[in-house]
Amino acid sequence: MELNLNDLTKKFGPVTAVNHFSGKMTHGIYGLLGVNGAGKTTLMRMLCTLLEPDFGKITLDGEDIFQMGGSYRKILGYLPQDFGYYPDFTVKDYLMYIGALKGLRPAVAKKRVGILMEKTGLTKVSGKKMKKLSGGMKRRAGIAQAMLNDPKILVLDEPTAGLDPNERIRFRNLISELAAERVVLLSTHIVSDVEYIANEIWLMKDGGIVLEGTVRQLLMSMPETVWTCFADPAMVPMLVHKYKVSNIKSEPDQVELKIISQAKPVEDAVPVQASLEDVFLYYFDEKAGDGSGLL
């Protein structure tokens, strides 16, 4: 199976949300990293046929996905940032209802719902109304509904939003189990969500890819060195202004900093191995936290 995104462009009035984006996906997990407003959600909506590109084409094994229609959506699972649900449905009823919408036979849907509630830790709250669930539990239900039809293409937009650390680990392990036989595109701005499970990572900025590759390839691509050093607290504002600082840790009488710089930032700075967070900061520092997140 090969999913090709060829020169995609999508505009909303004067704003270009996706700008000549190209990429290819086969089996495995693809991490889409970028700050809010980078165009990730727009790209994923096109991949799910909810938006048509103004220019470019998406093909599955050479066939245009918009022309495939229902046969494409039948093998697609999608978790948007905000998914809809009926608040008075129980978790089990909600999942059974989604199963019916996806065309699953009742017996098949019942079996899939049971399996997925177990995998996502929803079994104990299966009779609870959706409106009574915590944010993390609702997110688990969203992940379960995306996988009901056992999709060959799974698109997940900020899937771990609202999950606690244990839930995020459970989710990553689940996705790793599923990825061998399908294409998984996972969009996030949380680096650790993809660092350990993605086969390939796309760094997206201003609607296009600025860098792509495995975690190792991205780390090797860093054109600057990552340093660790200790400084007097009074020096910290100057260092933060002058350099890209990826971590600040306060000690009793000094501050430990992790700095990205071509030259040694202070006399006692020591070079260290870059992390994916360092790579993210290097490419997105100026716009981190900006944007509406609507694109």
Q: DSSP assignment of 53-117, as one string?
A: -SEEEEEETTEEHHHHTHHHHTTEEEE-SS----TTSBHHHHHHHHHHHTT--HHHHHHHHHHHH
Q: Which pLDDT does position 130 carry in this prediction?
A: 95
- Predicted confidence (pLDDT) at residue 293 exceeds the cutoff of 50: no
- The domain tally of the chain equals 2
- Predicted confidence (pLDDT) at residue 257 exceeds the cutoff of 70: yes
Asked if residue 292 belongs to a domain, the reply is no
Mean pLDDT confidence for 267-294: 74
Q: 26-35, 128-137, 168-177: which has the minimum mean pLDDT?
A: 168-177
**Domain check: are 94 and 227 in the same one?**
no
**Domain check: are 239 and 157 in the same one?**
no
Q: Which pLDDT does position 286 carry in this prediction?
A: 54
Residue 35: band (very low, low, confident or very high) from pLDDT cuts 50, 70, 90:
confident
Q: Which pLDDT does position 37 carry in this prediction?
A: 85
Asked if residue 174 belongs to a domain, the reply is yes
**Domain check: are 82 and 40 in the same one?**
yes
Average pLDDT, the chain: 89
**Domain check: are 140 and 239 in the same one?**
no
pLDDT (tens digit per residue) in 179-211: 778 899 999 877 888 888 899 999 999 999 999
Asked if residue 290 belongs to a domain, the reply is no
Asked if residue 210 belongs to a domain, the reply is yes
- Predicted confidence (pLDDT) at residue 28 exceeds the cutoff of 80: yes
**Domain check: are 27 and 112 in the same one?**
yes
The residue segments making up the domain with residue 122 are 3-214
Q: Considering the entire predicted model, what is its pTM? A: 0.85
**Domain check: are 70 and 206 in the same one?**
yes
CATH number of the domain that residue 82 is part of? 3.40.50.300
Residue 39: other Cβ atoms inside 10 A: 24
Query: 3-state DSSP call for residue 246?
Result: strand
pLDDT (tens digit per residue) in 50-100: 999 999 999 999 999 999 988 999 999 999 988 888 899 999 999 999 999
**Domain check: are 133 and 257 in the same one?**
no
**Domain check: are 32 and 155 in the same one?**
yes
Asked if residue 279 belongs to a domain, the reply is no
pLDDT (tens digit per residue) in 207-252: 999 999 999 999 998 889 999 999 888 889 999 999 999 889 988 8
